[in-house]
Amino acid sequence: MVSLKKQCLSEFLCGLLVGFFGLGCLIPLHLKIIDQFQFSMLFGLAIAFVVLVFNPVSGAQFNPGVTLAMVITKRQDKKTLIPFILAQILGWFCGAALVHAAFYNQIDIIAMEMSQGVAAVNLLFCNYNAGGLYGVFPFEIILTAFMVIVILACNDQRIVNNPGKALFPLVLALYITFGVTLAGPYSGACLNMARDFGPRLFALIWGTIKGYDTSAIFGNGYQFLVYIFVPTLGAVLGALIYDGAITHLLPNNKPVAPVKGVINENYIKKDSIFHIEHKDKVAKKVEVKPTKKAKPAKTVKKKVSKKK
């Protein structure tokens, strides 16, 4: 079993890499080199690559809402909750820092083109309420909830022909592409508390060091709190809806019967790629001892005495 330290390191690297590759795509977007759909597709592919690499280690969650949902539904040990969330936020924080370091000159160009100057650049990697504060709620709750439902469905063996763990990164990439394309212009399509809070915290520290105006980062009527609580609430609701409603709609809402003497112990508990306490050998073979065939009864031949 993978140790908690290695799992936390995996979550940190997930946040760092998705933060760097995903948020890095914002630079060509603001420079009008790519459009919104291309940005959404690139962001989804970045997530797919990271999930493909780190999924076997920690589940590649890099999302505090998903981690909380897995703990509440008992798919993950509650001892991992706080370490995972801290590692995820730190990873996204460092990812935003790498983007600033790599695209320093380009960020200055964007600052000159924006009317608010450096104050707007500080918000470049954070989410904003372009569609209004009330427009954020339906997008963030519904999209995050359904994202968790898709995650659980992809790894539920009760669903016939589900994509499974092999195609799961691609399915998640397609969903992220859809969600960011749909909600990006209105709510920023956060879907992840760490994706907003980590870069926002870096923007505050960097802006303070550089002497920029940082009032909008944690200002604007504390609207940043929306991106902390709403996606997290959506993730938990998605997991509860899946367990409380969707599983009961399946033709077989019980674990799949063992096939050829193999019992999937991990699935019987609650099969999920996020089950941290899983064993290395998920399948355990059951030795079936052949039953001894009953020996046929011996026929006793009676000797018939012949009369002379």
Q: How far apart are CA 8 and CA 82, in angstroms?
A: 10
Percent residues over pLDDT 90 in the chain:
48
pLDDT band at 124 (very low <50, low <70, confident <90, very high): low
pTM over 0.85: no
Find tokens 């938990």 and name the residue: 236
C-alpha distances (whole Å) from 138 to each of 133, 146, 307 are 10, 12, 106
DSSP notation for 222-286:
TGGGHHHHHHHHHHHHHHHHIIIIIHHHSS--SPPPPBTTEEEHHHHHH--TT-TT--S--EEEP
Question: What is the pLDDT, as a whole number, of residue 177?
Answer: 96
What is the residue type of 33?
I
Local confidence band at 116 (pLDDT 50, 70, 90 cut-offs): low
Distances (CA, A) of 195 to 73, 108, 124, 294: 23, 23, 12, 68
32 burial (CB, 10 Å; 0-12 / 13-18 / 19+) is: exposed
What does DSSP assign to residue 114? S
Residue pLDDT, tens place only, 165-219 = 889 999 999 999 999 999 988 888 899 999 999 998 998 888 788 777 777 677 6
Query: What percent of the chain clears pLDDT 70, i.e. is strictly above it?
Result: 73
Residue 261 has what pLDDT? 33
- CATH match for 4-282 among 1.20.1080.10, 1.10.150.120, 3.40.50.620, 3.20.20.10: 1.20.1080.10
